[in-house]
Structure 1
Amino acid sequence: MYRSMKGSAQQVIAAGTAVLLAFFAVRLVPAPAVALGVAVLAGLLIGKLSVFGESGK
């Protein structure tokens, strides 16, 4: 049960981080296509953090 709760929490954190990342990318970068590229690149880099567990690998 602990592993499933931990995995669920990691997925919720990952989804929330992705939403915030996309929001800030759209706000800071005027061109939507460039903002998408920035958000994807940043997401790939941030996803490697250990806080996301197996979801980031």
Structure 2
Amino acid sequence: MSKGQASRPKLSEALFEVLVEQELAKGPVAHGWPDHVAREIYGRIQPDRAFAAPPAAA
């Protein structure tokens, strides 16, 4: 039986949201998804937006 979290969160809710948005902005290819699959998934999730590839690494 669960008795709650094992430990307290180490990140504030605001910082966690910032980090999530940064990772999402990198796009699916940056996280190991093949480009053709990423485009298909992105099209299903956000059909009203054109696929925007993440900026090239500097």
Higher relative contact order structure (alpha carbons within 8 Å, sequence separation ≥ 6): 1
TM normalised by structure 2 equals 0.34
> Whose helix proportion is higher, 1 or 2?
1
TM normalised by structure 1 equals 0.35
- Structure showing greater radius of gyration is 2
